[in-house]
């Protein structure tokens, strides 16, 4: 087993760093905008509690009991058929697929730190054409920033659990929170702040459809970095005396609070300038920069801070996505961290370049299959098929395969019997059905 372990606080920060990603600051606000605000937030909070937190704790339990990589964990904890269950551990490779396009998006964010400092677009039209132009025509800029994001990520992981992952999270997570609090304090002064609060926290159920419920369940699941073995791998490196129930709850709370603060900041700006809240994925790259522009030099500073917060969130998540596969390669093939990273980085860089080129108009015909480019294929495969599948396997494994008394003896010091029974019921029945519904909805509807 690995020499280095997380400290208790380091585990919470690293798990929060993994969970707090682009999903919180980029995806959550635009999904809230598209699904009518407060009612969506309420459903999201309920599903974080019953689906997200249940699965998070289940992943922690597997990691804590096994103390090994994800593949060995399933193999060693299954009372029988361990040789079949070990294939569930290959969910770690989903992370490699995600990383290949996630680093491209982090590259865009790096570019927008520069844009915010020196050349903010003055109108939504200009912002749209410059962002669209970068995606569809500017191969050089995208490759440059993708390569930068790629090197930063792999350099941090090369330093190991304690010196790399824990250290960077202990620096970047507090910085992320500080930046968001500065932006939140500024948004108090905007006329749109009151509207933002009402939009996020006053539910209007007339705007809720079945699709909103499934979107909330899906996002609660994705935002906590579940279904790809990351939390399991981190939990294998927790100190023995860590209170895993409390740690899991703290990560879920931190993750949710950051998403809500980011939502308040973004919607305060949008409502202040009478912009539409439902603007889809382009929200932060197209809608916000022209709003920052209107604030002059202050807008430049706010833009730089905002995209830095986003970059920190992205990097802490990217780092966490690599670690499960690295740990598996070190444990299974007895190779060094450096060697495993060289192999992985080659795969990620190749897949990333394919995904990047699939958005470039002149080149996309060479990297398109079934009418979809690699970027969209990787995104669809990971978020609609592989991650939910990983979540379902974790829920079934903890709910039906690991003996209940093993779970009880691990968790009973940290929770009452009634809470344990509620969690056990949720992981057995509510979670797998909820995640399965999301998966079917994403694939077929």
pLDDT 10s digits, 26-76: 888 888 888 888 999 999 999 898 889 999 999 999 999 999 899 999 999
Q: Which is nearest to 51 in space by CA: 382, 422, 353?
A: 422
C-alpha 203/C-alpha 210 separation (Å) is 15
Instruction: Give the pLDDT confidence of 360-412 residue by residue, as tens digits.
Output: 998 888 877 878 889 989 988 988 889 999 999 999 999 999 999 999 999 99
Kindly list the distances between the CA atom of residue 254 and the CA atoms of 177, 213, 317, 321, in Å, as whole numbers in the listed order: 10, 22, 14, 19
Q: How many CB atoms lie within 10 A of CB 280?
A: 11
What average pLDDT values come out for the chain (445 residues) when binned by 10 residues? Answer: 73 88 85 88 91 94 93 93 93 93 95 96 92 92 97 92 86 91 94 94 86 84 88 89 92 92 92 80 85 93 93 92 92 93 96 94 83 88 90 96 95 95 96 91 85
Q: Cβ-count burial of 102 within 10 angstroms (0-12 exposed, 13-18 middle, 19+ buried)? A: buried
Residue 2 lies in a domain: no
Q: Which residue has the tokens 């409502």?
A: 271
pLDDT at 1 (0 to 100): 44
3-state secondary structure 301-357: HHHHHHHHHHHHHHHHHHHHHHHHHHHHHHHHHCCCHHHHHHHHHHHHHHHHHHHHH
Q: Tell me how many domains the chain contains.
A: 1
pLDDT at 100 (0 to 100): 95
Q: Do 201 and 38 meet the contact criterion of CB atoms below 8 Å apart?
A: yes
Residue 118 lies in a domain: yes
Residue 183 lies in a domain: yes
C-alpha 137/C-alpha 364 separation (Å) is 10
Q: Do 309 and 284 meet the contact criterion of CB atoms below 8 Å apart?
A: no
Residue 377 lies in a domain: yes
CATH number of the domain bearing residue 310:
1.10.4160.10
369 membership: H or E segment, kind and range: strand 368-369
Q: Do 192 and 268 meet the contact criterion of CB atoms below 8 Å apart?
A: yes
Q: Give me the domain span that covers residue 212.
A: 8-444
Angle (CA) 361-289-179 rounded to 5° is 120
pTM, entire model: 0.91
Residue 411 lies in a domain: yes
Residue 304 lies in a domain: yes
C-alpha 74/C-alpha 174 separation (Å) is 34
Residue 3 lies in a domain: no
C-alpha 354/C-alpha 364 separation (Å) is 9
């Amino acid at each position: 087993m690995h020499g280095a372990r997380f400290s208790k606080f380091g585990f919470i920060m690293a798990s929060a760093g993994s969970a707090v990603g682009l999903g919180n600051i980029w995806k959550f606000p635009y999904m809230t905008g598209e699904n009518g605000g407060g009612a969506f937030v309420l459903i999201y909070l309920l599903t974080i509690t019953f689906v997200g937190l249940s699965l998070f704790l289940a992943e922690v339990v597997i990691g804590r009991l096994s103390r090994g990589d994800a593949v060995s964990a399933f193999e060693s904890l299954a009372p029988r058929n361990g040789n079949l269950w070990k294939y569930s551990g290959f969910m770690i490779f989903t992370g490699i697929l995600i990383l290949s396009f996630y680093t491209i998006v982090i590259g865009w964010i790096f570019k927008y730190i520069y844009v915010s400092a020196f050349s903010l677009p003055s109108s939504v039209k200009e912002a749209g054409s410059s962002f669209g132009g970068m995606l569809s025509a500017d191969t050089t800029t995208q490759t440059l920033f993708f390569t930068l994001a790629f090197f930063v990520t792999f350099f941090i992981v090369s330093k190991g659990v304690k010196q790399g992952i824990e250290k960077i999270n202990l620096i970047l997570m507090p910085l992320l929170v500080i930046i968001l609090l500065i932006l939140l304090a500024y948004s108090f002064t905007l006329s749109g702040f009151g509207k933002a609060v009402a939009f996020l926290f006053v539910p209007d159920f007339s705007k809720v459809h079945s699709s909103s419920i499934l979107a909330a369940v899906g996002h609660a699941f994705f935002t906590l970095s579940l279904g790809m073995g990351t939390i399991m791998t981190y939990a294998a490196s927790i100190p023995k005396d860590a209170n895993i129930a409390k740690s899991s709850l703290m990560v879920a709370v931190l993750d949710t609070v950051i998403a809500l603060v980011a939502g308040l900041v973004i919607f305060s700006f949008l409502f202040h300038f009478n912009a539409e809240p439902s603007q889809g994925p382009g929200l932060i790259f197209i809608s916000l920069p022209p709003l920052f522009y209107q604030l002059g030099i202050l807008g430049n500073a706010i833009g730089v801070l905002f995209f830095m917060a986003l970059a920190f969130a992205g990097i802490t998540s990217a780092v966490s996505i690599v670690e499960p596969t690295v740990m598996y390669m070190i444990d299974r093939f007895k190779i060094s961290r450096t060697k495993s990273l060289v192999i992985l980085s080659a795969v990620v860089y190749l897949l990333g370049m394919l995904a990047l080129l699939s958005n470039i108009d002149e080149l996309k015909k060479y990297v398109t299959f079934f009418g979809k480019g690699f970027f969209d294929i990787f995104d669809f495969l990971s978020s609609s098929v592989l991650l939910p599948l990983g979540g379902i396997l974790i829920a079934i494994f903890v709910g039906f395969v690991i003996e209940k008394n093993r779970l009880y003896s691990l968790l009973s010091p940290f929770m009452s019997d009634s809470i344990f029974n509620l969690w056990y019921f949720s992981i057995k029945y509510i979670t797998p059905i909820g995640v399965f519904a999301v998966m079917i909805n994403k694939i077929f509807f």
